[in-house]
Amino acid sequence: MISETKPRYLLAICASDSRGGAGLQAALSQAALSGCECRSVVLAVTAQSHQGVEAVSHVSASMVEAQVQAALRDGLPEAVLIGWVPPEPEVLEYLRTFLNELQASKQVPVIWDPVVSATLGELPAAHSGLTDLIPNVSVMTPSLDEARWLLGDQTLSAAAAGAALQHAGAHTVVITGGDDEQQQHSAWVTDLIFSRSDENFPECAAKPSFALHQQREAVQAHGTGSQFSAALAVQLTKGTRLYDAIVIAAAAARQALIASSGVLGIEFGGTDSGSTKPESSVYRNCIASALPQSGDEWPLITDVGTYPRTDRFEPYRPGVYVLTESLDHLEMLLGMGVDTVQWRIKVPGPDYKDQTRRALAMCRSQGVSFWLNDDWPLALELKPDGVHLGQEDLVSADIDALHAAGVSLGISTHTEWEIARARAQKPSYIAFGPVFTPLSKRLRYQPLGIDCLSAWSERYRSWPQTCIGGIVPENARLVAESGVGSLAVVTCIAGGPADEPLIRSNIADLRAALEMFSPAPK
């Protein structure tokens, strides 16, 4: 039976690129890779080669409108991607009107890659009225040169340009790196993201701005900016969180660059008549490709103006990892064969520091690793085995001081963006969660589920891992089978002396599940 449900689709409003690496072809290829339906609106037809843009034919405003209206007959899109806009006043005015009407009926993410010139060859000069589109744009992805052109100020820094474009109405601005002269000699290609705090998304509230880093490749290619904006639009069409979509899009653009074609030294043109000089292809063509399987190839996230750490914390595998806040409860757990204890006091009392010292001493007497939750200043004072930080704690924590003091570091993560941020700190382990709906705290993130946990565990295998959230003996084997290597638990080991037999049995079941699929903890 054929479903009559209206499709979720991306509406791509771009110029056609006959070379295939940029523009509409980039959108279609990225959409196809991700299984995303894409409707296309052609703004112009271009003839392009390794020498650049050779010819351009604009599409009339009436034909642009006809294409848009044909797409809308199947319902409104989940996202809109806009690429290079020809300098035709009627087309620009139609796009502005269309976006106004679209946002009035449904808040649809609009992604705009504001191309104003071609790297090789010539595009018609951009229209000065392009800035009229900005108030309806959710995410802009200009290079620094493009941002400066739009703002009419060639002296602006990336931060100033991002702030000015946001002031003009854009929700989020991604100043893409790679072409910036200040980055040319860096081992990293760095994008700068300027967004807005959003309490509905903890990561946006924690870091409205950040830097995204990827290792620089030795080649350049036609279409990297288009591949990035297209992959971003595809992810937003699929409902991916904004920051995760940015991370995934950056990885996708780098993969398209790595897969690019156009071997150096191939000669074009003839020399038989002596009238044509041979030319070498130095400008490759992006090819949309699958996302990298290894997490080592994924982006890293830091604060603006900083770069990923070079010194790594000592790796640590937590094994059976229990969280507690009571000395009596801790004493009971220490006799049950746990590997790691996290001392988690959410509301410290006047005797908090003394109790923490005693808890540390108890663990050391039993040879159990002791980790302090959140309180990195106290960790610097007491020197426990490690400190476990949430994403909010990373904003203020002195990571260099912890490393210098020999205090190991674990970091909580709930999203792709948070994993990228954690990896930049080179922690001892990364914690994924919540796997299931947690039984001990209010849910701020959707549960990952086993499929996501397994994918993350496989991708980020270079780092020791643990996971938390709703883990009990009944699902422990399923979780351990993901390969995560450690189970962090709260509720199933809670209780007093009367619950000791059940708690002991639960810990034994957790241990048995881990030993089926993982090596012994370190």
In a domain, 314, yes or no: no
Q: Are 501 and 508 in contact (CB under 8 A)?
A: no
Q: Are 313 and 409 in contact (CB under 8 A)?
A: yes
In a domain, 274, yes or no: no
Full pLDDT tens readout for the chain, 522 residues: 344 567 899 999 999 999 999 999 999 999 999 999 999 999 999 998 888 888 999 999 999 999 999 999 989 999 999 999 998 999 999 999 999 999 888 889 999 999 887 666 666 667 778 999 999 999 999 999 999 999 999 999 999 999 999 999 999 999 999 665 555 558 899 999 999 887 777 888 778 999 999 999 988 898 999 999 999 999 999 999 999 999 999 999 999 999 998 744 444 444 444 444 444 446 789 999 999 999 999 999 999 999 999 999 999 999 999 999 999 999 999 999 999 999 999 889 999 999 999 999 999 999 999 999 999 999 999 999 999 999 999 999 999 999 999 999 999 999 999 999 999 999 999 999 999 987 656 667 899 999 999 999 999 999 999 999 999 999 999 999 999 999 999 999 999 999 999 999 999 999 999 999 876 655
Per-residue pLDDT, 266: 43
In a domain, 275, yes or no: no
411 closest CA partner among 387, 395, 434: 387
- Residue 351 and residue 227 share a domain: no
Q: Are 245 and 235 in contact (CB under 8 A)?
A: yes
In a domain, 3, yes or no: no
Per-residue pLDDT, 412: 97
- As for how many domains the chain has, the answer is 2
- Residue 465 and residue 326 share a domain: yes
Out of 243, 261, 279, a domain closes at 261
Per-residue pLDDT, 186: 80
Side by side, the strands of the sheet bearing 172-175 are 52-58, 37-49, 9-17, 79-82, 110-112, 139-140, 172-175, 188-194, 209-215, 300-302
Bridge partners of residue 41, in order along the sequence = 13
Out of 220, 239, 261, a domain closes at 261
In a domain, 315, yes or no: no
- Residue 324 and residue 257 share a domain: no
295 residue type, one letter: G
In a domain, 281, yes or no: no
- Residue 336 and residue 231 share a domain: no
Query: 3-class SS at 325?
Result: coil
In a domain, 178, yes or no: yes
Quick one: tokens of 113? Answer: 């890659």
For 201, the domain range is 9-261
We report the CATH number of the domain holding residue 506 as 3.20.20.70
* C-alpha–C-alpha distance, residues 181 and 145, integer Å: 10
- Residue 162 and residue 13 share a domain: yes
Quick one: tokens of 517? Answer: 């699929």
Out of 246, 261, 276, a domain closes at 261
We report the CATH number of the domain holding residue 115 as 3.40.1190.20
- Residue 249 and residue 329 share a domain: no
pTM of the model: 0.92
Cα 303 to Cα 194, 273, 294, 391, 413: the distances in Å are 11, 58, 24, 13, 17
- Residue 235 and residue 142 share a domain: yes
- Residue 363 and residue 234 share a domain: no
- Residue 476 and residue 352 share a domain: yes
In a domain, 2, yes or no: no
- Residue 196 and residue 104 share a domain: yes
Per-residue pLDDT, 270: 42
- Residue 328 and residue 239 share a domain: no
- Residue 364 and residue 228 share a domain: no
